[in-house]
Amino acid sequence: MAHRKCAFCEGKLELTAYLEIEHYWPKTIRPEQAFDWHNLFPICRICNNTKSDIDHGGMLIKPDVEDPEPFLWLNPDTGKLEASAAVSDAERSRIEQTFELFDLQRGTLCDERIETMEATIHWLERVAERQGSLDARLRKEWVRLTAPLTPYKFVIRHVFRTRGEPRLAAYDRRLYRQLAGSSG
């Protein structure tokens, strides 16, 4: 489902962070769901330790049921995630609680998001200079950008959408979903 990335921060698991299993509903709150597949998520140690066993009352975004991307906006100056202007007050509250409980605004994540954003913008600019023609290097970078294992997919698709390339974001999303469906 998460393509070897943390289900919440999108960092690469086992490369920069240890893989742990997150219980959406903490075992201390709902022990009967401790082994329920729909309650378990691959997550990094930082996100898992930050959330801990806090009873969130079901107010967190649940990434296997809800696509978080329509709820989010990326601040290009800070790399911080923000609630989209289109969300309701209730959705905004859930989004902000998810940010807080998983510490999704921590500095290293924001730095990684900015680096990913800059690399994606740079790729788009080079493609535009070549008038859409992809040489071998640009093709190789495209394969890396669209690979489901690439961290910070939200950032890449966000750049595509905000830079006038929504079809690239849609293609990347379809590829991600196809591979997620075939892997489990």
Give the whole-angstrom CA distance, residue 92 versus residue 105.
Answer: 15
Residue 86 is inside which H or E element, if any? none
Q: With contact defined as beta carbons under 8 Å apart, do 37 and 72 qualify?
A: no
pLDDT-based confidence at residue 53 (cuts at 50, 70, 90): confident
Q: Is the pLDDT of residue 64 over 90?
A: no
Q: What is the pLDDT of residue 183?
A: 41
Long-range contacts of the stretch 50-58 (C-beta < 8 A, 24+): 50/101, 50/102, 50/103, 51/22, 51/101, 51/102, 52/26, 53/26, 53/27, 53/28, 53/29, 54/26, 54/101, 55/26, 55/29, 56/97, 56/101, 58/25
Each residue's pLDDT tens digit, 133-166? 889 999 999 999 999 889 999 999 999 999 999 9
Q: Greater confidence, 95 or 183?
A: 95
pLDDT-based confidence at residue 168 (cuts at 50, 70, 90): very high
pLDDT-based confidence at residue 92 (cuts at 50, 70, 90): very high
Each residue's pLDDT tens digit, 4-51? 899 999 988 876 667 899 999 999 999 999 999 999 999 999 999 888
Residue 113 is inside which H or E element, if any? helix 107-129
Which residues touch 166 (CB under 8 Å, ≥6 apart)? 160
Q: Is the pLDDT of residue 184 over 50?
A: no
Give the whole-angstrom CA distance, residue 23 versus residue 101.
Answer: 13
Domain boundaries, the chain: 19-183
pTM of the model: 0.88
Each residue's pLDDT tens digit, 93-122? 999 999 999 999 999 999 999 999 999 999
Task: Find residue 19's DSSP bridge partners.
Answer: 44
Q: With contact defined as beta carbons under 8 Å apart, do 41 and 10 qualify?
A: no
